[in-house]
Amino acid sequence: MHRALASILLAAVASLLIASAVSADFSAEQWQYVKSLSLPAGVSSDEPLSLIIDEEVYVHAAGGLRDLRVISGAGVETPYLLETLRGSVERTASALQVIDRGYVPDTQSQMTLDFGPGAIRHNVIELGASSMSELWREVEIEASQDNSSWSSIGTDEIYRVVKGSTVVESYVLRYPTSSSRYLRLKIIDDGTGDLKMGSAIGFSEETVPPQLITSRPVSMSQVNDTTERISTIDFDLGRSGVPYHDISLATPDQNFNRQVAIQASVDREKWIALPSGGEIFSYTVGLNPLDRLVVQIPETTARYVRLTIFNRDNPPIEITGGVFEGYQKRLVFLADAPQGYSLYYGNDESNAPVYDTGVVIGNRVNSADLLTAVAGPHSTNGEFIAPTLPKEPLTERLPWLMPVLIGFIAVLVGGLLFSVFRKARSLSPPPLD
């Protein structure tokens, strides 16, 4: 008995494992769309290839791109690595000494920096904060190998602006990469005196810029509510699916500082509040414009965006446009099929695949050196079979049926109760005289 029961349990477990394995296999008829992939000429076997995700895939793929499948010409599913191209910044500190300071009234404050013999390459200087509460100065940057002959290699600005509770400042100077031992910084005087800058740190900064995908709204509207003292701007991007995390606003107005809030929706019915920087502003400091009109939010792919500006007692500002930017994404896979590849997408029921590519491919990827596969046009998969919709319950197909049945049952029960009542009366003893 126990042996038979164990056999039944083992058979059931095996059936579940087989069913799960079958459900995990790629089946072309479950994917609605496909793009053929063209490989670059001269690609060698087992070489990592990059495929940039295009807008058609973003729009028609399942959320999170979980349904993407790279299939070889032989019908074999090919593992891939999905990357977000955020870019990177690597900084290496460079030892230096401040060997000279000077000030020429109404002309400039000056600092000379020594990176030492055999100076490594450098392209960034970060100055210590000034004692002045507000400043905006242009800085001329000169380089020398002998602290005698100087040549100009660039200009930049340092500033500190205070508006209410908002402080905007930068003491970072960037210039073309140099291996010169000496740098001289000429901080142009604007009539407010010697800055008396203190410390300085040198860096070698290597930057891989992010790759961005840009969206623009197909329509927008603004409503100014003077009672609630808010402005509401609704953006319609025309489609969901394309990622964005930065919203760059356009306005002709200046000299304002406003708190903002962001909401997103896929259907204009249910809105979800998104964390954001919470503030936009635009000032003119002397002749220098200073603004922050980019609102940063967690990455989303929603079609509709609502911006709320809290005006308080100020007149509304006019928002004339917006640009939505997000990090581009790419697939990285190993090319080893001479028959070519296709990218399948458009299956909302699929789960994100789990591959070993993070180990197998990840440490072989160099963003600058990967060859790129090119996706063909968006097309419907000829093998796709639309899922059969579940049959509606009988009560939904025949909405009159349930009330009729209830009425019939009520009549039947009432008749039965009446019959029992009559029979009970006939069997009861006659009343006593």
Cα–Cα dist 321/235, whole Å: 9
Q: Is the pLDDT of residue 426 over 80?
A: no
pLDDT score recorded for residue 15: 38
Whether the domain at 90-208 and the domain at 212-327 fall into the same CATH topology:
yes
Q: Determine the average pLDDT of the residues in 139-161.
A: 96
Identify the CA nearest to 264 among candidates 245, 278, 277. 245
Q: Which class for 34: exposed (0-12), middle (13-18), buried (19 or more C-beta within 10 A)?
A: buried
What mean pLDDT is reported for the chain? 87
Q: Is the pLDDT of residue 51 over 50?
A: yes
Q: Determine the average pLDDT of the residues in 90-111.
A: 92
Cα–Cα dist 39/340, whole Å: 7
Strands 47-52 and 371-372: parallel
Q: Which tokens belong to 361? A: 């491919």
Cα–Cα dist 24/22, whole Å: 5
Low-confidence winner among 43-52, 257-266, 357-366, 415-424 (lowest mean pLDDT): 357-366
Residue pLDDT, tens place only, 120-133:
899 999 999 888 88
Q: Which tokens belong to 363? A: 């440490």
- Residue 21, beta-bridge partner list: none
pLDDT score recorded for residue 19: 35
Residue 427 binned pLDDT confidence (cut-offs 50, 70, 90): low
Beta strand segments in 67-197, E: 69-72, 77-78, 80-84, 88-94, 97-104, 108-114, 122-127, 135-144, 151-163, 166-170, 172-178, 182-188
Q: What percent of the chain has pLDDT over 70?
A: 85
Q: Is the pLDDT of residue 258 over 50?
A: yes
Cα–Cα dist 60/34, whole Å: 10
pLDDT score recorded for residue 389: 61
Most confidently predicted of 39-48, 318-327, 397-406, 421-430: 318-327
What are the residues whose beta carbons fall under 8 Å from the beta carbon of 334, sequence distance 6 or more?
Answer: 46, 47, 48, 49, 78, 79, 360, 361
Q: Is the pLDDT of residue 422 over 80?
A: no
Task: Compare 301 and 120 and report the one with higher pLDDT.
Answer: 301
Q: Which helix (H) or strand (E) holds 18?
A: helix 2-24
Q: Is the pLDDT of residue 64 over 50?
A: yes
pLDDT score recorded for residue 285: 81
pLDDT score recorded for residue 1: 43
Q: Is the pLDDT of residue 433 over 60?
A: no
The CATH topology of domain 212-327 is Jelly Rolls (2.60.120)
Q: Is 419 helix (H, G, I), strand (E, B) or coil?
A: helix
Beta strand segments in 7-84, E: 33-38, 47-52, 69-72, 77-78, 80-84
Integer distance in angstroms from the first to the last C-alpha of the chain? 73
Residue 178 binned pLDDT confidence (cut-offs 50, 70, 90): very high
Low-confidence winner among 33-42, 53-62, 354-363 (lowest mean pLDDT): 354-363
Would you give the DSSP letter of residue 2?
A: H
Select the CATH number that applies to the domain covering 90-208 from these four: 2.140.10.30, 2.60.120.260, 3.40.50.720, 3.30.300.90: 2.60.120.260
- Residue 329, beta-bridge partner list: 84
Cα–Cα dist 83/67, whole Å: 15
Identify the CA nearest to 325 among candidates 86, 89, 56, 68. 86
pLDDT score recorded for residue 40: 87
Most confidently predicted of 9-23, 64-78, 273-287, 329-343: 64-78
Q: Is the pLDDT of residue 16 over 50?
A: no
Low-confidence winner among 34-48, 92-106, 147-161, 209-223 (lowest mean pLDDT): 34-48
Q: Tell me, rounded to whole angstroms, the distance of Cα 266 from its chain centroid.
A: 16
Residue pLDDT, tens place only, 181-225:
999 999 999 888 898 887 899 999 999 899 999 999 999 999 999
pTM (predicted TM-score): 0.78
Q: Is the pLDDT of residue 268 over 60?
A: yes
Domain residue limits, the chain: 28-86+333-380, 90-208, 212-327
**Contact status, residue 319 vs residue 307, Cβ threshold 8 Å:** yes
Cα dist from 191 to 107, 138, 185, 198, 286, whole Å: 8, 13, 18, 20, 13
Residue pLDDT, tens place only, 319-373:
999 999 999 999 999 888 667 899 999 999 999 999 887 666 766 665 557 889 9
Cα–Cα dist 290/167, whole Å: 12
pLDDT score recorded for residue 356: 82
